[in-house]
Structure 1
Amino acid sequence: MMVELRWIKMSLFLILGLQFTAVTGQTSLDITVRDGDEVTLSCENVMTDQDKCDSTTWLFSHSRTARVELIKLGQIGENVKAKSDRLSVTANCSLVIKKVTVEDVGHYTCRQFKSGQQHGQDSQVDLSVVTMTEHKDTDEVMLNCSVSTYEQCEQTVKWVYEGNVSDVNIQHMKESQSSCFDNVTFTTSHLAETSKYSELFKCNVTDINTGKVQLFAFSPQSSVQFKY
């Protein structure tokens, strides 16, 4: 009898816990883009019948910075006016960031307000950024691909080779790899133009949790670093 009562109590606890999570839980997305690209962060909890997203606020936080209001009730936040040319909201209140840099890596929160009070649960997005660089030394080239993440890295990074082996002295390739980071060094024999690297090497970024794979063609960026 005591065993049955204990089992019933545990079942009720689990059911209530699941219900509580369903009510108070928050939707969360993970997005990875390349440095210099444009990204759209979806607001999954957006309210209908808004006038130019006047009920929507987008918040940004980073490990090195305090939380900042990027969009406050549909308008560019006071502390990010200098970056207004890179930030905007769509008709459905998604946040658009142009010319993404590693400074944009972080945690984004879309929050809805009604009559001055927070309405509903938050919609959250963690943004990671892929950066690729090239270092040339005489007849040797080193390509680097790394992923900057908001919290602990949960992605693997690896250069993959595609193309004609005769174009690259492949037997002399060297690789140095760790979590969210991969270097490949090789000697060039027939490649005279840097643009051809994009035909041969791609950076493979795989999400450990979901198994999602993204391939980024080699394309080093020299974008200016923006700070909020």
Structure 2
Amino acid sequence: MADKCDLCLLGLIILSSLLTGTSGAFENMFISSGENVSLSCNKALSDCNSTTWTYSNRFSDSAGAELITGGIKKKDTERHERLSLESDCSLNIKNVTGEDYGLYICQQYVNGRQQGPVAFVYLHVLHVSVSPSSSSSSSSSSSQTEISPGRSVTLSCQLSSFDCNYLVSSDGVELLWVNQTGVDLKTDSRYQILSSSDQDLCIIITLTTTLLNEDDNREWRCQLTRRNQLETSVRYTVKYSDPADTASETGVSVTALSLYRVIVSIVEIAVFAAPTVILLQIICARRAGGRTRSTQRK
């Protein structure tokens, strides 16, 4: 049902643009999750006070959800904090996620009449997940996870897109896993590469392998090509725990324990030596007193 609503909305917008002579161009943007993106608007006015940005994807509950109305962000959107409007009316999205894919439409109105051409921007998002799940951290274009040699790991590279069929059949979009030097990992027998698709994601390509000792800090990249041209990629770096860290921590503990034992030994020696020192002082004092009296008698 959502698909039909989206198509109807898009059809109405295009029809309206044609009737008013303000039809716009369609733009495809490919980006990796975690990055920031700026979607261009065909600005026709001196300011953005009459700008509206609407959004839709294949699984939207309602078609044409408004993100920006009259140049002001809608507060009831989940991505409100990640959105901003530039002076040229471009829509900025920070820290893009897989759920941000879809069709974004920019329009400007004055007294109910559209000004300038409509901007249609298709946003396609590439992202990677790992199985089994581990403690991980990610940046704008890479991710790391602490796992160990001998374990099997599966990396799933996924493209979320509004119009998957067109991308694959007409635009020649492909995903592939490559190593740090850009060599396709399908040529290496230690990797199992599988491609598939489902109703939620446009394209999925998985990489499965058993980790080796030499895989520490090894980087794999999932690349998205369109008509044999690289559009974007996601990096994945394996990171093993450093045994030296544990040894260092152990060394600190041993040093602290040794110092403690030395201090205890000194205290014990002092406790047992104190009476002897006092006794020697008494003996020395008595002898000194005896010598003094003997001298006086003489």
Do the two structures share a fold, i.e. TM-score over 0.5? yes
Pairing of 1:187-198 with structure 2 (within 5 A): 187-191=210-214, 193=216, 196-198=217-219
TM-score normalized with structure 1 length: 0.72
Give distance in 2, aligned partners of 1:183 and 1:27. 34
Matched, 1:96 2:105: no
The question of whether the paired residues in 2 share the 8 Å contact of 1:197 and 1:218 is answered with: no
Partner of 2:110: 114
Give distance in 2, aligned partners of 1:76 and 1:25. 25
Identity of aligned residues (%): 28
The question of whether the paired residues in 1 share the 8 Å contact of 2:128 and 2:156 is answered with: yes
SS of structure 2 residue aligned to 1:79: coil
Gap change, CA 1:219 and 1:90, over 3 Å in 2? farther
Matched, 1:159 2:177: yes
Gap change, CA 1:126 and 1:115, over 3 Å in 2? same
Deviations 1:118-142 (A, max 9, x none): 2232111001111101224952221
Matched, 1:149 2:161: yes
Matched, 1:174 2:174: no
Deviations 1:53-87 (A, max 9, x none): 1021101011122211100111012532x532111
Structure 2: 5+ residue runs without aligned partners?
1-17, 133-146, 168-172, 198-202, 238-298
Give distance in 1, aligned partners of 2:59 and 2:232. 29
Give distance in 1, aligned partners of 2:180 and 2:236. 15
Give distance in 1, aligned partners of 2:115 and 2:232. 38
Deviations 1:22-76 (A, max 9, x none): x453211101111121111011x212311xx102110101112221110011101
More helix by share: 2
- Root-mean-square deviation (CA, aligned residues, Å) is 2.7
Partner of 1:35: 33
The question of whether the paired residues in 2 share the 8 Å contact of 1:60 and 1:109 is answered with: yes
Residue 213 of structure 1 deviates from its aligned partner by 1.2
Partner of 2:235: 218
Q: Which has the bigger relative contact order, CA under 8 A and spacing at least 6?
A: 1
Partner of 1:16: none
Q: Which has the larger radius of gyration?
A: 2
The one-letter code matched in structure 2 to 1:28 is F
Give distance in 2, aligned partners of 1:78 and 1:95. 15
Gap change, CA 1:100 and 1:215, over 3 Å in 2? closer
More strand by share: 1
The one-letter code matched in structure 1 to 2:68 is I
Q: Name the count of aligned residue pairs.
A: 187
Partner of 1:8: none
SS of structure 1 residue aligned to 2:81: coil
